[in-house]
C-alpha cells in the first residue's frame, strides 16, 4: 500500500534550537529517509517552502480568487510530503513513528486512494499516447 505522510513544521520550535542542532536534526531526518529507501519504503517526497510563499485559491461567485500566504491558523504548517510504501496503515505508523522529523512537528498519514490513482494513471497514459502521434 502507498501512503502520503504530511509532515508539519513548527518553525518557532525548530528555530529555538542553535543552528548546529537545527542542522543535526535535518541530518537525522535525511539519514532516516535513507533507511526507508534501503528498506524499499521511501517512494519519494517533497520539501515545501513556508506559508509566506503560498497562494490559496478560492472559488467565489464563479470567480477564482487568490489569497497570498500565509494562510495558517496554527503555529504548525505543512512542511513537506513523504510518499511511503508499507504493508498497511499500522506498518506506515510504525515506520513514521521513528522519523526524527516528529521533533519538528506532527505527521499525518493518509492512504493513497488507489481507485482514483488508477483513473489518473489511465488519463496520463491516454494523454501520452495522444501526444506521441
Question: What is the reported pTM?
Answer: 0.83
Query: Nearest Cα to 45, choosing from 87, 92, 7?
Result: 7
> Quick check: 41 and 95 in contact, CB under 8 A?
yes
Q: What is the pLDDT of residues 43-92, one digit of tens each?
A: 999 999 988 888 888 899 999 998 887 665 677 888 999 999 999 999 99
Average confidence score pLDDT of the chain: 92
Rounded to whole angstroms, the Cα distance separating 114 from 95 reads 21
**Three cell numbers at 102?**
516528529
Give the pLDDT confidence score for residue 70 in this predicted structure. Answer: 60
pLDDT band at 18 (very low <50, low <70, confident <90, very high): very high
- The Cα-based distances of 88 to 20, 84, 93, 112 in angstroms read 36, 11, 9, 11
Q: What is the pLDDT of residues 123-132, one digit of tens each?
A: 999 999 998 8
Amino acid at each position: 500500500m502507498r501512503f502520503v505522510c504530511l509532515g508539519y513544521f513548527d518553525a518557532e520550535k525548530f528555530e529555538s534550537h542553535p543552528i548546529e542542532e537545527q542542522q543535526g536534526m535535518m541530518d537525522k531526518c535525511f539519514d532516516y529517509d535513507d533507511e526507508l529507501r534501503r528498506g524499499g519504503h521511501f517512494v519519494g517526497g517533497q520539501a515545501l517552502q513556508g506559508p509566506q510563499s503560498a497562494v490559496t485559491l478560492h472559488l467565489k461567485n464563479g470567480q477564482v480568487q487568490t489569497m497570498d500566504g500565509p494562510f495558517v491558523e496554527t503555529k504548525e504548517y505543512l512542511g513537506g510530503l513523504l510518499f511511503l510504501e508499507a504493508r498497511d496503515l499500522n506498518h506506515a505508523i510504525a515506520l513514521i513513528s521513528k522519523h526524527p522529523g516528529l521533533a519538528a512537528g506532527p505527521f499525518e498519514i493518509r492512504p493513497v486512494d488507489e481507485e482514483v490513482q488508477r483513473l489518473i494513471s489511465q488519463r496520463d497514459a491516454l494523454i501520452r499516447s495522444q501526444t506521441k502521434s
